A and B are shown apart, each in its own frame.
Chain A
């Protein structure tokens, strides 16, 4: 079937006649757009429009007609271009639209624009630092209030969060740290065997896991598993105006939402670190036994010599600080979410990336600190 003609441009000596026909509707909008766009618009001094042949007409058709007419200067035609009566109301409505251009926002160009960008990002970074400090300050104040019994601690919420981030994280953390302990031990056995120094596998696994890897792996896992969910939760509450509702009921989001979450994390992370480190040692011990034939009894005896209590302490001391950083970043990012689903996603990503980054940087700072005090 040949598609029906929609529009025809008839050029006479001194006038252009535009004849519309058929269905000027959404279904034909693509064709109409192309037909009208393709018509060169040179001679528009005298134009006659005849729409009497149009059978169907909707907003799309009305807009195309309106646009044709707007491009012309002088119009000579029968009233309303012969448009059937039933379409006139719609056409008049469309005729009034698109008159005013929304004022365009001015964007700087070139050097000025570049400088503006730099300025804005510096301002953004400063604001962000302030916002973090704000959250930290509010958490500290609320914490003091709770300690001084000026405010009821939110125990129910705290225990619920503790269950979520603590208890429910145990299986995955045990599994992963066990594997990592095993992998380190296997690699160590493989290389140390060449020097006949297999016994030192225990030293390597013990020191590495207790001082660094245990806490680092656990913190990164928790940042990915719990930090992201904190951000998403607070963010969607923000989108739903739940946080505003809390505020108007005289309860700050920090007290009700952030404090229990951060506290649960600070409480849970040392325990998880302990569990994770032990699991990693088990993993290492198992590989040493199965792969290198090192008796468990020997492994434990050697471990006692190799690691001191200070190695263990170094790992454990770090963990609550890391928890604090993860919790604060996750909650602050959550509270930064704006109305859109996209910003929720962006903030969740930012939360995970920033907390993992901070955890690693902190670990480095702690390493310098502990070695300078000789731990």
Chain B
């Protein structure tokens, strides 16, 4: 049953996902608390995107249970699924904007599907979203092929936020942005998170985002959650990959301000 006020936004239990003979997720358990900024880290190819796609129901699981706001897709009725899909937003790693629609039309697309708004209101709200993610009004009439990498990210975020969702899934939102833009992007996510109170499930490699943004972090290694908790927990973890990640050269230099405080 869909319960948007549930304490847990996402619950994964004993999840197994595999391709042919490769087991990517191996009996994985994870709880994502509602209303938090949750970060997922892991090596390239560890299966972060696969985990996200499994949660979204885009790839089948072999075993286990996935509940989003208490709703398991497998057991859900068509209406419940539609209701759930209206309350989540997804930012894909490659943006995944519809290439034959302009940026504004892309943002309007979910509104057109789910809300009953007049075209002019829809346009205005799409424009608001566009500007909230830091794009210029002129960019609204561009086609995705004419956007830079960073602009694509922003436009895709605007589309993910189009319906003011309860949970947003972000797959590497700041990769490919310059540090200033990445910082702005993080600040934007935080502002939106604070005002709208949605849950953020974010896959990231950006230690800076992890440090400044995330309330809770989980590390994915060997198909399992190797560690989960605050940044301090991560720094204290004994898991070899987690240690290498957070205590490595880059990790130390970026995270040192934490120790200073």
Contacts and interface: CB of A to CB of B under 8 A. Distances in A.
Interface string A98-109: 101111000000
A58 B164 contact: yes
Interface stretch (B29-37, B128-136, B226-234): B128-136
Interface in A72-103: 86-87, 89-90, 93-94, 96-98, 100-103
Interface in A46-68: 58-60, 62-63, 67
B195 interface: yes
Interface in B102-143: 114-118, 121, 124-125, 127-132, 137-138, 140-141, 143
B146 interface: yes
A89 B124 contact: no
B81 interface: no
Nearest to A93: B132
A340 B143 contact: yes
Contact of B125 (A37, A60, A102, A343): A60
SS of B interface (majority)? helix
Contact of B115 (A26, A87, A94): A26
Contact of B138 (A29, A103, A339): A103
A62 B125 CA distance: 10
Interface string A337-348: 011111100000
Contact of A100 (B116, B137, B144, B196): B137
B8 interface: no
B181 interface: no
Interface in A327-345: 338-343
B146 A89 contact: no
B125, B140, B145: which has the most chain A beta carbons within 10 Å?
B125
Interface on chain A toward B: helix, strand, loop, or mixed SS?
helix
Output the residue of A25, A58, A239 with the most chain B CB within 10 A: A58
A295 interface: no
A101 B141 CA distance: 12
Given A93-B191, A96-B131, A102 B116 contact: no
A97 B107 CA distance: 15
A94 B125 CA distance: 9
Nearest to A59: B164
Nearest to A95: B128
B27 to A, nearest CB: 36
A93 B161 CA distance: 15
A342 B127 contact: no
Interface string A294-318: 0000000000000000000000000
Contacts of A30: 115-117
A8 B145 CA distance: 45
A340 B102 CA distance: 10
16 contacts: A26-B163, A29-B115, A33-B117, A33-B121, A58-B196, A59-B128, A59-B196, A89-B195, A94-B132, A97-B130, A97-B131, A101-B137, A102-B138, A102-B140, A340-B143, A340-B145
What are the nearest 3 A-B pairs in CB distance?
A: A339-B145, A30-B116, A90-B195
Interface of B: 98-100, 114-118, 121, 124-125, 127-132, 137-138, 140-141, 143-146, 161, 163-164, 191-192, 194-196
